[in-house]
């Protein structure tokens, strides 16, 4: 993004009239000319995509290789019963375009790999990790670090979840925080947990794009939905990290 101004149209001023007093016209213009990639169109990706589209992020790229199943619908609110069997990215794109026809949605039905991740993050101002497994999260984290693209990570399990912002070359990355992937089995997920963490991710993405407030970096912010509390686990950047330090290319 540059300092160039793109004046808002009357239609845009009307659509965003309740947030322009908060963001300013220049802030709204910045969102409208931002590009965000959401990796994952599931429980986390659903609220992230809805709220970034509603806020006026001008270009949203969605990455997911799955199709909608009935078991998704307790938490993946961007999809509906009629979408069962449909590609998740196509289902999500239809809903976002209906919500905000003035934005561009780029659906990509991809399984994230080391080979295609560069094309996934290329040209993006920010990437959101709404994935459901650590191998894919690490691939995305490494690419974000290598290409200096801010990344907002989250993960959920039952009533609990975590969120962390990664600003390459400035903050600790996901691999600094969690050097080795935990043993994974499909976790139970309450839809409200994914909703809370996804909304936090969307809010963090907007703040990073606008350069407002304090980034949720150098810590894992942990939500306990049973107690209704947040905890913060400080994380230090590892100079030898395989993703962002001397052990990698970040």
Angle between helices 45-55 and 88-99 (to 10 degrees): 30
pLDDT of residue 244: 95
- Per-residue model confidence (pLDDT) at position 6: 74
CATH superfamily, domain at 34-157+188-213: NAD(P)-binding Rossmann-like Domain (3.40.50.720)
- Residue 108, phi-psi category: left (phi > 0), alpha (psi -120 to 50), beta (remainder): beta
**Sorting pLDDT into bands at 50, 70 and 90, what band is 5?**
low
Q: What is the mean pLDDT of residues 26-30?
A: 96
Kindly indicate the confidence band of residue 248, based on its pLDDT and cuts at 50, 70 and 90.
low
pLDDT, mean of residues 185-199 = 93
- pLDDT for the residue 1: 46
Mean pLDDT, range 206-213, rounded to an integer: 96
């Amino acid at each position: 993004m540059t300092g160039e101004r793109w004046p808002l149209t009357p239609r845009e001023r009307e659509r965003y009239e309740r947030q322009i007093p908060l963001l300013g016209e220049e802030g709204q213009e910045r969102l409208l000319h931002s590009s965000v990639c959401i990796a994952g169109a599931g429980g986390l990706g659903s609220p992230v995509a809805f709220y970034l589209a509603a806020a006026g992020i001008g270009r949203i790229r969605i990455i997911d290789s799955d199709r909608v199943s009935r078991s998704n619908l307790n938490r993946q609110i961007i999809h509906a019963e009629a979408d069962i069997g449909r590609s998740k990215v196509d289902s999500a794109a239809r809903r976002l375009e209906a919500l905000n026809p003035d934005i561009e949605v780029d659906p990509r039905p991809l399984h994230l790999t080391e080979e295609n991740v560069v094309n996934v993050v290329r040209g993006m101002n920010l990437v959101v990790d709404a994935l459901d497994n650590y191998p894919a999260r690490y691939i995305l984290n490494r690419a974000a670090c290598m290409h200096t693209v801010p990344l907002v990570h989250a993960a959920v399990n039952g009533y609990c979840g975590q969120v962390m912002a990664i600003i390459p070359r400035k903050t600790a990355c996901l691999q600094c925080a969690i050097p080795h992937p935990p043993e994974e089995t499909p976790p139970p997920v309450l839809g409200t947990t994914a909703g809370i963490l996804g909304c936090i991710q969307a809010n963090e993405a907007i703040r990073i794009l606008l350069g407002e407030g304090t980034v949720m970096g150098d810590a894992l912010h942990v939500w306990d939905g049973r107690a209704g509390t947040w905890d913060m686990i400080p994380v230090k950047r590892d100079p030898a990290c395989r993703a962002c330090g001397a052990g990698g290319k970040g």
